[in-house]
Structure 1
């Protein structure tokens, strides 16, 4: 008996179906894209948050408990996403960053391949000129991220892509094999487990599939049920195994980090919004004479959903915008590379399209390659002693990470940085704080101070970096009797860009 998959495959032209008909033609240039991405991993500095999460995973493997011995602002998925790679790195005896880089590149390749296989199942999407788009898609998921490579948003996008393909087929009421349903359901579930904000793009795509298929039963499609079950399982497991996240971490985050917003100009008037707007307008102009197919509509809706999630986070930070920008550029590339055009395209149109894609891609690369400049701190620290234990008095995470990993040091604090004090300051500056809230914020400050002193005594640092450029941490330390007493056994070495370097007396 002929399988459903085999029957559909015979109806579809081999090679060029969908956005990634992996015919021999695009394989070589796509491979070059991945090669460039590999080279960039050796040149672009390790992301600050990724570096910290590698420290978190190393400590978890050493037996420390998340949210008790390690204070992390995000749900457990943020750490568990990196844990297998860090564990493998220990077995291999290599730096975890290299394993994580390889893991993300393999995930990108697997995600694109899975999408291509899913789209090949669709007669409605058969015969599309996918060759140039394969190269574009590969560049968007491997080169575009630059400094935000391997951030949670990068992972979340890669796991979500197969679900986009399934939503497109589901909207056409086309049959799907079990393997595609499982990939979509599990992938979307992982994406939503990273951040609840990612529910928006998934919900928009699922609702679109139900409306376009003219069946509300599509809302209960098996991939959606799998996603829901996975998200519920992760939430319940967090409550059972990490109750401190709900009793300690989340209230602290809610009352400090989530209580304030960046100015609207920072949230909305940035390169991410510019790229998103250009991409959406380009899609409309390119397809104004053609009825958009289900894949293009799903990508456009997903990008809008990720844009909503980006704006809801109210920070305007580059890595928050990556899913929005990436999916918008995928939709733009799908429209401008002629992937959906059966007929011939004019030479002029191809040149204009190539120019628009190149410009937006360059703007995106520059946007995602922004780093926090902290001066030549590494050069000043790495020669003082081998494998030093390091503590940083600052609310700026980029001072300590990836510095501690670059010089093969040991991170002393249970936190990425002293973020509670930094967020409390912002809360007081940007929101109205009544007496009860002010007292609660003081309690949080006292808790962080207690953590700092405990960490200092438990594992005395060899080097202490004091940030005097941001919020006068040196003055704060001198004004605190216990902290200043702990620092008496340290000698001032030098100051770099407002950061004092103190070395423990031998």
Structure 2
């Protein structure tokens, strides 16, 4: 759901959570200050990791029934097709770069070896990643000479933000990427204070490189803080630290892999994505106000809870800069989807909480700050069903069906196909390129050559749908009646405009119409019931 819609819908909702840091969090001390003890003089490293374990266990219990969302379901299904021998850009088509699919390969392979559900394995692996990121940040703090209290508080807070604040974003690419990127931001904050993070900085750089390879827009999250550091030092040395060089090496290496291993995707499919999917954007005004509100709230809370850090060269600056980079990433992507705002929300919440003081903290300030944080978490957590429940209806028609959809919205078929224990009959999850091409043709003044190029992309989508019908032989086809969830559109007429597709679809009969979805079943499957 677009965050603009979320904001309008839930502006009146208020919530209060309880979180009571004692004095200062990671990067929250003035130079030479003493870090607090998290829960008294007897607090130890073991207690800290017990708190982390409790947070992760809570997240596990929450995520098991909800983690399988549309995007994750689609990528897992595409990954299974690749494991079965398909090649991205030739046999399997995904609008995101290949790493988006291969990111989940370890989970799929482990699931096949153990019999566990892939989505459960995803949760477990993400939690391992969280622990790894926390360990890297802690080791950097040790090398920098930060005291145990500061490191304890940082570990517990970041564990909470990684595992709980992420909520409905948990396990998605953006979530995994932000976890991998956070040690880089933390090390930038350490260097900002004139301290050294030690050799573990290279590991943080590798994580940042992975994050930027997954979502190139996240380069803004890593880049804004180190650019500010370079300006502050009046030197380019901040741009060539060990972690920055390691991140650059990963990104360059990934680019080389794309050229060598995925030329079909890079030179054939990716240009079509760039021409039709990338230009689909919300209005700039609708995109701007959510990040503006979040950044303003972050700065206001920081100003109230830690005024000594509210200045350009304060210790909070790298974290705020990362939040600004997250805001820029959100606007640049232009879709307004919840998960694209996770980097913005994560660092905007972290910046004030990592510097909060409770000795002089007034109750109204605490309540207002916590309400703002809860609201941000609420925006990240609200599930939205774009389609009516279809599981029982389809299972009543055909058990364990081969399923296909004709739509531009991934949530029509995913994770539905996994929930009904069906088989995905297609080699792509949506006809997104066709939708983008038709919207551009409708809304833009185009030359004859540009229009012909878009017509070619639309024809490409029809050819892929025809191939899926012939090779996949779906039992059930779900046909959408909207384009981009906002414009009424007859996807069946779009498909039937091709004579070969019309012939294949003539073997199917419409059996039900549920909201915006038309359900078609293979007549042979009906006769065998």
The gaps in structure 1 that reach 5 residues or longer are 1-10, 339-343
CA distance in 1: counterparts of 2:169 and 2:339, whole angstroms: 6
2:144·2:198 contact (CA, 8 Å) conserved in 1?
Answer: no
1:469·1:497 contact (CA, 8 Å) conserved in 2?
Answer: no
Residues 431, 16 of structure 1: alpha-carbon distance in 2 compared, 3 angstrom cutoff: farther
Residues 284, 359 of structure 1: alpha-carbon distance in 2 compared, 3 angstrom cutoff: closer
Partner of 2:323: 303
Quote the offset at 1:449 in angstroms: 0.5
CA distance in 2: counterparts of 1:182 and 1:289, whole angstroms: 31
Residues 12, 162 of structure 1: alpha-carbon distance in 2 compared, 3 angstrom cutoff: farther
User: Over the residues paired in the alignment, what is the CA RMSD in angstroms?
Assistant: 2.6
Aligned 1:73-472 pairs, distance under 5 A: 73-123=95-145, 125-126=146-147, 129=150, 134-178=155-199, 180-212=200-232, 215-270=235-290, 272-290=291-309, 296-336=316-356, 338=357, 345-346=359-360, 349=362, 352-470=365-483, 471-472=489-490
2:462·2:495 contact (CA, 8 Å) conserved in 1?
Answer: no
Pick which of 424-433 and 300-309 moved more. Answer: 424-433
CA distance in 2: counterparts of 1:13 and 1:24, whole angstroms: 21
Counterpart of 1:383 in 2: which secondary structure? helix
Quote the offset at 1:83 in angstroms: 1.0
CA distance in 2: counterparts of 1:36 and 1:105, whole angstroms: 11
Aligned 1:19-58 pairs, distance under 5 A: 23-44=45-66, 46-58=68-80
CA distance in 1: counterparts of 2:37 and 2:261, whole angstroms: 47
CA distance in 2: counterparts of 1:219 and 1:75, whole angstroms: 26
Residues 182, 294 of structure 1: alpha-carbon distance in 2 compared, 3 angstrom cutoff: farther
Quote the offset at 1:13 in angstroms: 7.9
Residues 273, 381 of structure 1: alpha-carbon distance in 2 compared, 3 angstrom cutoff: farther
Quote the offset at 1:182 in angstroms: 2.2
Q: Which digits, 9 at most, give the CA deviation of each residue in 1:138-186, with x for residues without a partner?
A: 23211222222211110111001111222122334433332x1221110
Counterpart of 2:278 in 1: which secondary structure? helix
Q: Which digits, 9 at most, give the CA deviation of each residue in 1:205-260, with x for residues without a partner?
A: 22233344565333222221111111111001100100012221221011111234
Quote the offset at 1:85 in angstroms: 1.1
Residues 381, 324 of structure 1: alpha-carbon distance in 2 compared, 3 angstrom cutoff: same
In the alignment of these two chains, the number of paired residues is 483
Pick which of 399-408 and 427-436 moved more. Answer: 427-436
Quote the offset at 1:100 in angstroms: 0.5
Residues 358, 30 of structure 1: alpha-carbon distance in 2 compared, 3 angstrom cutoff: farther
Partner of 1:66: 88
Quote the offset at 1:466 in angstroms: 1.2
Quote the offset at 1:131 in angstroms: 5.4
Q: Which digits, 9 at most, give the CA deviation of each residue in 1:371-415, with x for residues without a partner?
A: 242001122112323321111011111000000111111111111
Quote the offset at 1:291 in angstroms: 6.5
Pick which of 322-331 and 215-224 moved more. Answer: 215-224
Residues 203, 454 of structure 1: alpha-carbon distance in 2 compared, 3 angstrom cutoff: same
CA distance in 1: counterparts of 2:445 and 2:166, whole angstroms: 37
2:301·2:352 contact (CA, 8 Å) conserved in 1?
Answer: yes
Residues 416, 357 of structure 1: alpha-carbon distance in 2 compared, 3 angstrom cutoff: same
Residues 482, 290 of structure 1: alpha-carbon distance in 2 compared, 3 angstrom cutoff: closer
Counterpart of 2:518 in 1: which secondary structure? strand
TM-score between the two structures when normalised by the length of structure 1: 0.88
Counterpart of 2:509 in 1: which secondary structure? strand
Q: Which digits, 9 at most, give the CA deviation of each residue in 1:47-98, with x for residues without a partner?
A: 2111111112111111110111011111122112111111111111121111
Pick which of 189-198 and 141-150 moved more. Answer: 141-150
Partner of 1:8: none
Residue in structure 1 matching 2:517, options 493, 499, 502: 499
CA distance in 1: counterparts of 2:234 and 2:497, whole angstroms: 67
The gaps in structure 2 that reach 5 residues or longer are 1-31, 484-488, 525-529
Quote the offset at 1:287 in angstroms: 2.9
Pick which of 183-192 and 362-371 moved more. Answer: 362-371
CA distance in 1: counterparts of 2:292 and 2:443, whole angstroms: 24
Residues 387, 219 of structure 1: alpha-carbon distance in 2 compared, 3 angstrom cutoff: same
Residues 290, 312 of structure 1: alpha-carbon distance in 2 compared, 3 angstrom cutoff: closer
Partner of 1:7: none
